[in-house]
Chains A and B, each alone.
Chain A
Amino acid sequence: MDAVGILAQAGIFSSAQYWILLSTGLFFGFYMAWSIGANDVANAMGTSVGSRALTLKQAIIVAGILEFLGAFLVGPHVSATIRKDIIPIEQLQEILQAEGASLYVYGMLASLLAAAVWLMAATFFGLPVSTTHSIVGSVIGFGLVVLWGHWDVIRWGTVGEIVSSWVLSPLTSGVLSFVIFTLIQRFVLFQRDMVSAAKRVAPFLVFAVFEVITLVTLWKGLKHLNVGLTDVQSILLATGISVVVALLSIRLLRGVKVPAPAGNPAPASQNPILAEELSKLKQRLDRMRQIAHGDVEKKLRDIGEEMDGLQNSVEETTTPPAGSWGTPEMRATEKIFAYLQIISACAVAFAHGANDVANAVGPLGGVIAVLETNELGKEVTLSSAWLLGVLALGGVGIVIGLATWGWRVIETIGRKITELTPTRGFSAEFGAAVTILVASKSGMPISTTHTLVGAVLGVGFARGIGALNLRVVRDIIVSWVVTLPAGAGLAILFFFIIKAIMG
């Protein structure tokens, strides 16, 4: 006991241990961020590339910037949940005494490792596993062994909240996307003049997206950067920014040259069907003439001659054959929405950075907090510099992941998800981004992918998508049920291995 006490006085870890733990932590934190960048970012950007709203290169640059910003600006909330809200630090200290700090570091490192290994395994088996869920499962697993016999002190309430947020987030995004797409149908797609309707509606949608992003960012999101705004200030500032952007969008939309529908839209009185009908009527008239006699026959011939004249005048003014009008208008509308979709894709990238990056580096933050302060403080607070450093590491990891592997995934997704046309893509991304941001705000570590799946299903329920595979829903539920125990088990295993090596 004395020896440990002295060790604690001088620093919990020897200098060698310090560097091993720190570098391992940094390495695995970076690996997690890299794999998120390589695999998950495509979710946000794939649709924009698919609809040709962005080139692949633009998508990667935009995604890199926004992921980084999201992690940097809104990330700390989620990161803190992973670090200290699942396992009660105070009780950990009480139960384990001086050993607590080192065990906590081993545990967090083990969680990071376990999540990374489980992700690799799940990818190998083709399960739609989320980074977030793996990390949460791992931290719970570590909590279970380190607090052996004191399980009542684990914050099961928080765990319950997190798990229920996994069900709630896809549901919420689904409902939001359903509503958004239904509104777009009602106010744009079902309108007589789709293109003008789209131009009218677009600024409001731009406003909505920006309002959510800026509000979530400002509203306590910037606290760690020492920008303290009151709620009212945040709301006013966010609204101001959004109004300006929406007004800008009106200007930009006016500049969007929408190709006029090919040829002149035929007036209702002069359309192809009319011409066809006339010629059929003429044929029937001829047939009637064959069986008619005398006066009737003569009258029929007169009518026939009159019809010939009518037919000529109709055919002259008749434009494209049946079926080909309406299409250019639809294309023009989708073009307008392609711009909106860039904005919503950015929102998803931002939200993704805020949630997933923060999750991935959450345990790393815990490790560093203890290594630097040399104690297991009540709050395991990170100094601002380290917090930003850790989140920046996550951000950089994502960008490198994008650059090395992610572009390929974005390309594949973009090519394959052609069903997510801009109107659909916007609706789904809007619903998902709002859900993820609000969840990040309240520190809920949710899965971006699952939220997006929920959002796409929402659009599907509004009759927006050709065919959706409902088996994915089953796979996702299976992955929830499997990931928690798997992450927990691996974390326990790694915990004992690390403890044996370091102890």
Chain B
Amino acid sequence: MKALLSLFGKSPFKPLQSHMEKVRECATRLSPLVSAVLGGDEETQKKLVDEICAMESEADKIKNDIRSHLPRSLFLPVDRRDLLEILAFQDAMADTCQDIAITLTLRKASLHADLKKPLEDLVREVTTTCARAADVTQELDELLETGFGGKEADRVLKMVDQIDADETIADDTAIVIARKLFELERQLEPVDVMYWFHMFRRLHELADLADSAGNRVRLLLAR
């Protein structure tokens, strides 16, 4: 009796999904945070940054829990390394969100009116890419149920293709805004230019990480 019960290890798929949900929570707060920063609403800024930090630390807890329950003797339907890589990318997403949030509130930087709309666009594109990656992670238990194949796999692969497309759009948006920033460089404070360029880069990186996390799912489905 004991033998059969102890045969079943702690499945990492559900925790991986709840980890990704925390990441999603972080990412969705970036848009309102940017609005609050641009609008100078310090109270909302503080509230959102606190929430993002709390989410990030919850995600960290889940991450540590997954790692400590993933001994080598655990037999998984997918490669253990692929799973850990997905987790690493998700973790990096949470970290980057937190970093972006904190950096956004570090200094009162003024943003040129021409850059406001593009920044909102960029944040939206990046958040969409993150959400799409989260959707893919949410498909993992369905994939497990169908045994990582068939039409469910095809569907998830389509979703991953979609992330790629989203990431490309985020790329383009980042390039547009950076170009605009440097067009305006003579009218702006040098520190502001560097600061915003750094912010754009970080946002762009977040989209990259989401894309990488989603694309690792391809490896789970590769035969």
Residues of A whose CB lies within 8 Å of any CB of B are 39-40, 42-43, 46, 123, 126, 128, 181, 185, 189-192, 273, 280, 283-284, 287, 322-323, 326-327, 330, 409, 412-413, 416-417, 419, 421, 449-450, 452-453, 456-457, 460-472, 475-476
B138–A323 CB distance below 8 A: yes
Which residues of A have CB within 8 Å of B3? 128, 449-450, 453, 472, 475-476
A191–B150 CB distance below 8 A: yes
Which residues of A have CB within 8 Å of B169? 280, 284
Which residues of A have CB within 8 Å of B47? none
Q: List 14 A-B contacts (CB under 8 A).
A: A39-B1, A185-B150, A189-B145, A283-B121, A330-B145, A412-B5, A450-B3, A465-B8, A466-B12, A467-B10, A468-B9, A468-B75, A470-B74, A470-B75
Q: Digitize B195-210: 1 where CB-to-A-CB distance is under 8 Å, 0 elsewhere.
A: 0000000000000000
B1–A469 CB distance below 8 A: no
A413–B9 CB distance below 8 A: no
> Chain B's nearest CB lies how many Å from the CB of A56?
16
With A189-B150, A190-B151, A421-B145 as known contacts, state yes or no: A469 contacts B6, CB within 8 Å: yes
Query: Complex: how many Å from CA A453 to CA B6?
Result: 10
B74–A449 CB distance below 8 A: no
Which residues of A have CB within 8 Å of B18? none
Which residues of A have CB within 8 Å of B146? 185, 189-190, 330
> Chain A's nearest CB lies how many Å from the CB of B14?
8
Query: Complex: how many Å from CA A323 to CA B158?
Result: 12
Query: Complex: how many Å from CA A325 to CA B204?
Result: 31
Closest to A191 in B: B150
Q: 18 new A-B pairs (CB below 8 Å) besides A192-B151, A469-B8? A: A43-B4, A185-B146, A185-B149, A189-B149, A287-B121, A322-B135, A323-B135, A413-B1, A419-B11, A456-B7, A462-B147, A463-B147, A466-B11, A466-B13, A467-B8, A467-B11, A467-B75, A471-B6
B89 close to A (CB within 8 Å): no
Q: List 3 tightest A-B contacts by C-beta distance, closest first.
A: A466-B11, A190-B150, A128-B3
Q: Digitize B71-95: 1 where CB-to-A-CB distance is under 8 Å, 0 elsewhere.
A: 0011111100000000000000000
- Name A's interface SS: helix
Which residues of B have CB within 8 Å of A467? 8-12, 74-76
B11–A413 CB distance below 8 A: no
B155–A417 CB distance below 8 A: no
> Chain A's nearest CB lies how many Å from the CB of B65?
13
Of the candidates A273, A327, A456, the one whose C-beta lies within 8 Å of that of B4 is A456
CB within 8 Å of A: which B6-56 residues: 6-13
Query: Complex: how many Å from CA A46 to CA B5?
Result: 10
B184 close to A (CB within 8 Å): no
Closest to B176 in A: A287
Residues of B whose CB lies within 8 Å of any CB of A are 1-13, 73-78, 121, 128, 135, 138-139, 142, 144-152, 155, 158-159, 162, 169, 176
A449–B1 CB distance below 8 A: yes
Which residues of B have CB within 8 Å of A39? 1
Q: Which of B4, B128, B155, B159 has the most A CB atoms < 10 Å from its CB?
A: B4
A326–B5 CB distance below 8 A: no
Of the candidates A419, A463, A470, the one whose C-beta lies within 8 Å of that of B73 is A470
Which residues of B have CB within 8 Å of A189? 145-147, 149-150
Query: Complex: how many Å from CA A190 to CA B9?
Result: 26
> Chain A's nearest CB lies how many Å from the CB of B176?
8
Query: Complex: how many Å from CA A416 to CA B4?
Result: 10
Query: Complex: how many Å from CA A39 to CA B199?
Result: 62
A466–B77 CB distance below 8 A: yes
Closest to A128 in B: B3
Which residues of B have CB within 8 Å of A322? 135, 159
Of the candidates B8, B144, B152, the one whose C-beta lies within 8 Å of that of A326 is B152
With A419-B11, A456-B7 as known contacts, state yes or no: A327 contacts B142, CB within 8 Å: yes
Query: Complex: how many Å from CA A216 to CA B110?
Result: 83
Of the candidates B2, B8, B150, B155, the one whose C-beta lies within 8 Å of that of A468 is B8
Which residues of A have CB within 8 Å of B74? 467-470
A463–B150 CB distance below 8 A: no
Closest to A466 in B: B11
Query: Complex: how many Å from CA A273 to CA B7?
Result: 40
Q: Which of A40, A416, A466 has the most B CB atoms < 10 Å from its CB?
A: A466
B77–A465 CB distance below 8 A: yes
With A191-B150, A465-B77, A467-B75 as known contacts, state yes or no: A42 contacts B1, CB within 8 Å: yes
Which residues of A have CB within 8 Å of B75? 457, 460-461, 467-470
Which residues of A have CB within 8 Å of B147? 181, 185, 189-190, 462-464
Query: Complex: how many Å from CA A111 to CA B188?
Result: 93
> Chain A's nearest CB lies how many Å from the CB of B196?
19
Which residues of B have CB within 8 Å of A466? 9, 11-13, 76-77, 144
Which residues of B have CB within 8 Å of A469? 6-9, 73-75
Query: Complex: how many Å from CA A100 to CA B145?
Result: 59
Query: Complex: how many Å from CA A273 to CA B13?
Result: 25
Query: Complex: how many Å from CA A413 to CA B2?
Result: 9
Which residues of A have CB within 8 Å of B144? 466
B4–A417 CB distance below 8 A: yes
Closest to A463 in B: B77
B150–A449 CB distance below 8 A: no
Query: Complex: how many Å from CA A192 to CA B153?
Result: 12
Which residues of A have CB within 8 Å of B151? 190-192, 326
Which residues of B have CB within 8 Å of A472? 3, 6-7
